[in-house]
Structure 1
């Protein structure tokens, strides 16, 4: 995974760890890992996809698992490098809690601003 992929994974994991809804459902501390496996290398490999859209904006998508003392889930995140302020911003950050009870939490959702002058 490229540096951007690890950066996005770390930002998404931190955001998930800091979220009160997630902490309430799975407990704390929350760990993040790549795949459900006994193989350490598989757990450390974070599935990701890096691409540029038609306007040349870099996007990074990561999917990973989380586990806390009371439950577990899966995280789906996409971020893009905003060319206006050179900051990484979420397109979406979704946590699917799988245990103890199923739930889907949308922590971030980006809606681009509409400029009527264009």
Structure 2
């Protein structure tokens, strides 16, 4: 009876450790190995938050989110497209919404991974201000050679 009781406790402890390890892996994977689209989203949002033209039009602080929806999961999901061009350069395109205290807009961002510097660089960053008054701002424009 004692051996079976000890074995069942050991089994429960092993399962608990397995669940804890899976949770730790999920957190580590999310924080350290962030998907490309979120890295690009964060870089573009930082660039927009630092831009005086955007701050003047929609105010500060500026927040960014994936989709216009009341659904929290939809707001966290960033629409994106990843492809490799004919030269083997990796490209990514993200579209998301921004909001400030005085207005809102939509962002169209395209970046490429520089083969030499191994860093993501803007191809284009366009902010379409929808309110309070419509405007289109070209914050970044670059054609790789």
- Per the normalisation by structure 2, the TM-score is 0.75
Q: 1:70 deviation in Å?
A: 0.1
Structure 2: runs of 5+ lacking an equivalent = 1-33
Query: Would you say 1:107 and 2:139 are equivalent positions?
Result: yes
2:86 alignment partner in structure 1: 54
The separation in 2 between residues aligned to 1:60 and 1:15, in whole angstroms, is 17
- SS of equivalent to 1:75: strand
Counterpart residue number, 1:96: 128
Residue 55 of structure 1, CA deviation: 1.1
Question: Which string of whole-angstrom CA distances, capped at 9 and with x for unpartnered residues, describes residues 46-104 of structure 1?
Answer: 10011100111110100000000000000000100010221211010000000000000
- Whether the 8 Å CA contact 2:123–2:144 is kept in 1: the answer is no
User: Aligned partners of 2:56, 2:89: CA distance in 1, in Å?
Assistant: 35
Q: What TM-score do the two structures reach when normalised by structure 1?
A: 0.92
Aligned to 1:43: 75
Consecutive unaligned residues in structure 1, runs of 5 or more:
114-118
Secondary structure of the 2:81 match is strand
Give the conservation status (yes or no) of the 8 Å contact 2:124–2:142: yes
The CA RMSD over aligned residues, in Å, is 1.0
Runs (4+) of structure 1 exceeding 3 A deviation are: none
Say how many residue pairs are matched: 112
Q: CA deviation at 1:112?
A: 3.2
Distance 1:30 1:79 in 2: 21
